[in-house]
Structure 1
C-alpha cells in the first residue's frame, strides 16, 4: 500500500538527516535582510553557495531551462545550481531530505511530503495550473462517469490523477469506491490501458499520449474542468527563506523575467524548452495547450484565502482530506506555514501590479 511506502520514505529521510546535517555543517552564510522595495540585479548576486533547485519534466517547469540558457538567473541576482531530475518522485524525495533548497512540485505532492521535510517546505510561487494536461481516458464504450462505475481504472493512488478522478466522481454524486482502482505507477498505468488490460486510466502529460494510442480511446474528464485543482509550484525550504530571503526573491523575479523573455522571443524560447523536454517543437505546442501559465495577478489570487479550488489554502485543505481518506498519508499535516506570498507581493508592488 502507498501508506507503507510513505512510512518507509519517512524512515529513509530521518535516517539521512544526520548525513544531510553533516553535509551542511560548513559555515552558514549570514542571514539576509527581508526583500526590499528595489529589484535585484546582477551586482546583487548572493556571495553564499548556490541555491540548489530541482525541476523535472512538466510543461510549466520547462521555462526554467530558459533562465539557465539565457543567463536570467544571474541577471536577476539569483545564484542558482539548476538540477534536472528525470524522475519527478526523485526530486520530491531529494527536497524532503534537505538535499535541495528549492524544487518544482505540485500542491498535492507538497502536502503529502510536508511532515517528512527536514528543512520545511514553503510555496512561494505558482508557475501554472494544469488546464487539460491531466486526464481520465476511457475506452470507446464509456460515455459518462456513470458508465465508468464498476470498471477497472489504472492510476497512481494519492497523486493528481486520483484526485482529479475523485473530484469528478463526487461532483456527479458518485464515490471513489464505486470504481475498481488498479494502483500502478503513472507510466505503467498508461501502458496497461494502451495494452487493453484495464477500462480506463487517470494520467498526466506526457503519459496521456501513450494512453491515447489505444484504438477507440478518448478523454472523459480533464483538469480543464476543474480550474485551480492542480497547481504547479516553486517550493523552497523554510531554511532558505529564513537565512537567504533575497535569494528566494531573486528566484521569483527570475521567473517573471523568463515569462517576459518567452513573450519577446517565442521561437527561441520554444527551441530551448523543446530541447530540455526532449520533444519536437510541434509536440511542445500540444503540451503547452494544456498548461495555463500564471500571471502575477493570478499568483496573488491563488495565494489569497477563499472557498474555491482557485484559492490554494482552501485547495490544500481539501487535498489533505482526500489523501487521508484514501490512506495515502496517515494524518493531515500542519499547513500553517505552507504558503508565503511576500515574494510575489514584493514583485507586484515593484512592478505596479
Structure 2
C-alpha cells in the first residue's frame, strides 16, 4: 500500500508540475512560447512597417516568442499607451522617448535602432518660399514637440533663426498636411507617407529633409524596464526577430513589399518612393548608435540635444536619466553570436 501511495504521490507531483509549465507556456511542435502575448505597438512609419512581416511569415514563432502587434492609427496614442503601461514595447523615435520616458509608469528603454530617417521627414513649403529664411513670419503646421517639429528647429537654428521666428500651427500630422494642401498654412512638417499628400498642393516643394541632419531622427524599438526585468530572453528573441525580418526583406523583396504596402495602405509603387529616405540599421550600425560620441549619430549625444530642445520650448518639465534609457545588451549579445 505504501508503495502505491508513493507512486501516486510522484504521479500527482509530475501532473502538478506539468500543469504549472503549461500554465506559463504554449507548446507548438518542438517550440515553446510565452502564453500571455507580449504586446508591441507600432504605427505608420516606413521603418516600422516591416514588423508586419514577422506576423505574416511566422518569424516571431520561429524565435519562440509570442508577440501581439498592436497597430495605432495615431502615433501619439502609441506613445501614451507605452507610458501608461498598456504595452510591453512600442516603436517610437528617440525624440519622443526622451519626452515620455521620465513619466512612464514602467520605465522606457531603447533596445534596438530600426533605422534613421534619411529624407522621409520633410519640411514642405508653398511656391513662394525658396529658402529657410523665407519662413520668417510664415505659418508652419507641425505636430508640436515630435520629430518634424525638432527637424524644423534644427533647420531654423542652422540658418540663425529659431522657432519664435515662425508662427507654429500645432496640428496632428495628418491634419497638418490637410491644412497645408488647402492653403491654410505656408509650410508643413510631415513624415512618410503623409508627405505624398502634401505635394498635391500646386507649386509645393521640399525645403528641408532629415537627409540634411544625419542621425537626428532615430527610429527605435523601446520596451518597458519591467519587461526587461521579467522576460529578458523574450526581449532578446524580439531583437533577433527584427534582423530575421531584414534578412527576409533582402531575400524576398517582392513578398516583403506586398506585406509592407498592405500594412501601410499604399501601393507598391508608392512604397518605392520611400526607399531612399530610410536607412535601415545593421547590427554594426546599432553598436555605433548606442556608443558615446560627439555627433548626432551617437544616441547619448543626440539625447542631450533633444532634451535641450524639449526643455527650451516647454514640451516637458523634466528629462529621464539618459544613462537609464539605453540598453545595448541585446544587440551586443546578438552581434557576439554572429561574430
TM-score by length of 2: 0.89
1:159-214: CA deviation from partner (whole Å, max 9, x where unpaired):
11110011111112222211121222211111111111111111111211121111
TM alignment of 1:7-46, pairs within 5 A = 45-46=32-33
TM alignment of 1:272-311, pairs within 5 A = 272-311=259-298
Say whether the 8 Å CA contact 1:248–1:343 is kept in structure 2. yes
Say whether the 8 Å CA contact 2:34–2:65 is kept in structure 1. no
Give the CA deviation at 1:217. Answer: 0.5
Give the CA deviation at 1:95. Answer: 0.8
Matched residue, 2:336: 349
1:77-120: CA deviation from partner (whole Å, max 9, x where unpaired):
22211211222112111111111111111111111111221111
Q: Which has the larger radius of gyration?
A: 2
For the pair 1:336 / 2:329, whether they are aligned, the reply is no
Give the CA deviation at 1:156. Answer: 1.6
Pick the aligned partner of 2:75 from 73, 83, 88.
88
Pick the aligned partner of 1:176 from 157, 163, 168.
163
For the pair 1:152 / 2:139, whether they are aligned, the reply is yes
Q: Distance in 2 between matches of 1:83 and 1:178?
A: 39
1:21-70: CA deviation from partner (whole Å, max 9, x where unpaired):
xxxxxx9x9xxxxxxxxxxxx95644452211111111101111111111
In structure 2, the gaps of 5 or more residues are 1-19, 23-28
Q: Distance in 2 between matches of 1:105 and 1:168?
A: 22
Q: Distance in 2 between matches of 1:205 and 1:265?
A: 23
Q: Distance in 1 between matches of 2:34 and 2:185?
A: 54
Matched residue, 1:64: 51
Q: Distance in 1 between matches of 2:265 and 2:193?
A: 11
Give the CA deviation at 1:128. Answer: 0.7
Pick the aligned partner of 1:73 from 55, 60, 70.
60
Pick the aligned partner of 1:120 from 102, 107, 111.
107
Q: 1:250 to 1:45 in 2, by over 3 A?
A: farther
RMSD between aligned alpha carbons? 1.7
Say whether the 8 Å CA contact 1:133–1:223 is kept in structure 2. yes
- The alignment partner of 2:323 has SS state of coil
In structure 1, the gaps of 5 or more residues are 1-26, 30-41
- The alignment partner of 1:116 has SS state of coil
Q: Distance in 1 between matches of 2:109 and 2:82?
A: 11
Equivalences, count: 314
Q: Distance in 2 between matches of 1:239 and 1:61?
A: 23
Give the CA deviation at 1:340. Answer: 0.1
Give the CA deviation at 1:332. Answer: 2.4
Q: Structure 1 residue runs of 4+, over 4 Å off? A: none
